[in-house]
């Protein structure tokens, strides 16, 4: 019996020690990089905010931003995310109070390189500017957005993500 316990501990203890050391090393690395990673993520958000409302300043609300130009409220910005073809698509969306999209910018996506990744190109995202949220669907689904050839699923995903989130924010801000 004692022999058996000894044998099992002899196997288990080295593994436990390795796990503890690894855990400690990862905690240390996380602590070292945490601030930096947060800054990187925040910068991505700031960059996309400034592309959809040029020259505006932003006040953060619960789950959206209010864009103001010299004290006057001009619209709302919010993050819309959902599942695309290859993973999560995260977008920053700007919307005027009347329900018109001011602009869409992709924060992160992992679509198929060369096909789905073209949703991040201005040729595609510029289509959203000035469209009513009801119209943010692909043309074949009765909307006004042209899909990217060969990337219908990615194109449809982003229109759905933007429209659904925009409707929610529209209701919240009303």
Instruction: Give contact residues for another protein (rule: CB under 8 A).
Output: 10-12, 14-15, 18-19, 22, 25-26, 29-30, 32-33, 36-37, 40, 44, 87, 108, 110, 112-115, 150
Cβ proximity to another protein, 22 vs 83, nearer residue: 22
Please state, in angstroms and as integers, the Cα–Cα distance from residue 8 to each residue in 13, 16, 22, 36, 169, following that order: 8, 12, 22, 43, 58
Q: C-beta of 14: minimal distance to another protein in Å?
A: 6
Q: C-beta of 166: minimal distance to another protein in Å?
A: 25
Tokens of 129: 């500017």
Q: C-beta of 92: minimal distance to another protein in Å?
A: 15
Given its phi and psi angles, is residue 15 left (phi above 0), alpha (psi -120 to 50 degrees) or beta? alpha
Report how far residue 96's alpha carbon sits from residue 108's, in angstroms, rounded to the nearest whole number.
23
Cβ proximity to another protein, 66 vs 115, nearer residue: 115
């Amino acid at each position: 019996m004692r022999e058996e316990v000894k044998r099992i501990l002899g196997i288990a203890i080295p593994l436990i020690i390795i796990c503890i050391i690894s855990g400690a090393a990862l905690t240390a690395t996380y602590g070292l990089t945490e601030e930096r990673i947060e800054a990187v993520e925040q910068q991505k958000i700031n960059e996309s905010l400034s592309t959809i409302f040029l020259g505006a300043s932003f006040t953060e609300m619960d789950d959206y931003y209010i864009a103001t130009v010299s004290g006057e409220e001009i619209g709302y910005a919010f993050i819309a995310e959902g599942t695309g073809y290859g993973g999560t698509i995260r977008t920053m969306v700007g919307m005027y109070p009347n329900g018109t999209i001011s602009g869409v910018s992709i924060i992160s996506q992992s679509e198929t390189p060369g096909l789905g990744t073209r949703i991040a190109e201005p040729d595609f995202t510029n289509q959203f500017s000035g469209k009513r949220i009801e119209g943010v669907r692909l043309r074949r689904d009765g909307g006004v957005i042209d899909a990217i050839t060969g990337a219908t699923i990615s194109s449809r995903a982003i229109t759905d993500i933007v429209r659904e989130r925009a409707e929610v924010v529209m209701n919240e801000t009303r």
